[in-house]
Amino acid sequence: MSPISLDTVLVIIPILNEEVSIVSVIQAFQALGLRHIVVVDNGSSDRGPDLAAQAGAKVRYERRRGYGMACWHGLQAMPASVQWVLFCDGDGSDDLGAIPAFLALAQQGVDLVLGDRTATPAGRAALTPAQRFGNRLATTLIWLGWGHRYRDLGPLRLIRRSALEQIQMRDRGFGWTVEMQVRAVECGFTWRELPVAYRPRQGGKSKISGTLRGSFQAGVIILGTLGWLYGRRLRQGMQAWQLF
């Protein structure tokens, strides 16, 4: 089986005030041979977008705040040649050395490859208490509701374009990652989690775990997303039952 062509991979990096780290993130992808890099600015007040453009990324602007909104905007007008989409944060916390392993799994037929930050002691230590609690709660609820055990809801993920189109993502906020993982289960996609090194963010301030208020709001959104998804699943099951 031929290796996946790097020209078929689109990298999407949402940013918000991450001028300190975004250039090094872009350069790390370029060193791996990935050239199609889209940085989506979600309302920065610093030089992050300008620096990203100077580093060779294509910069788009989405002023409506929301992690999912920025990711969704980056998906618009994708070239026909794109077959894979790689999502990554712009804060420099992800070790991109795992990307070749992501691509190797995708080559084997896996539809969704997820970075597992909890798989290494250093990764677990770098996660904030709010991140660890939110991960544990959300992944447990997915297991109870859908019978599949994820370990993490991390931002580093590679998904097949056709799978992403079938999912039809609706969330435009912090529920983006959990919706993708639940829908992957519902659609019967093949998914794998790979250990990834993780470190404290190199620049900017977390929009989720940086404040108690942000953590609480993100938690409410994620729980709301799970509740909506489970409710939809129940409704679809009842409709199917009524057909008999």
Residue 89: what pLDDT? 96
| Alpha-carbon span 162 to 164, nearest angstrom | 5
Q: Residues with Cβ < 8 Å from 224, sequence gap 6 or more? A: 175
Average pLDDT over residues 24-48: 97
Average pLDDT over residues 201-205: 65
Q: Residues with Cβ < 8 Å from 3, sequence gap 6 or more? A: 103, 107
Residue 222: what pLDDT? 82
| Alpha-carbon span 58 to 37, nearest angstrom | 6
Average pLDDT over residues 74-93: 96
Residue 205: what pLDDT? 59
Residue 229: what pLDDT? 87
| Alpha-carbon span 53 to 126, nearest angstrom | 29
Which band of pLDDT confidence, cut at 50, 70 and 90, is reported for residue 213? low
Given a cut of 70, whether residue 204 has pLDDT beyond it is: no
| Alpha-carbon span 14 to 4, nearest angstrom | 24
| Alpha-carbon span 155 to 140, nearest angstrom | 18
Q: Domains for the chain: give ranges and CATH numbers.
A: 6-242 (3.90.550.10)
The token duo for 81 is 């040649």
Residue 98: what pLDDT? 94
| pTM given for the model | 0.89
> What number of other Cβ atoms are within 10 A of residue 207's Cβ?
19
Residue 235: what pLDDT? 74
Given a cut of 80, whether residue 1 has pLDDT beyond it is: no
Which of these, 73, 103, 99, 90, lies nearest to 25 by C-alpha position? Answer: 90
Given a cut of 60, whether residue 214 has pLDDT beyond it is: no
Give residue-wise pLDDT tens across range 142-155: 999 999 999 999 99
- Could you please report the per-residue DSSP string of 77-115? T--TT--EEEE--SSS-B-GGGHHHHHHHHHTT-SEEEE
Considering only the C-alpha atoms of the chain, give the largest distance between any 2 of them, rounded to a whole number of Å: 60
> Which tops the pLDDT comparison, 132 or 180?
180
Given a cut of 80, whether residue 46 has pLDDT beyond it is: yes
Residue 225: what pLDDT? 87
Given a cut of 80, whether residue 73 has pLDDT beyond it is: yes
Given a cut of 60, whether residue 40 has pLDDT beyond it is: yes
> Which tops the pLDDT comparison, 166 or 2?
166
Chain-wide mean pLDDT for the chain? 90
Which of these, 231, 203, 217, lies nearest to 13 by C-alpha position? Answer: 203
Give residue-wise pLDDT tens across range 90-142: 999 988 999 999 999 999 999 999 999 999 888 888 888 888 888 999 999 99
Average pLDDT over residues 174-188: 95
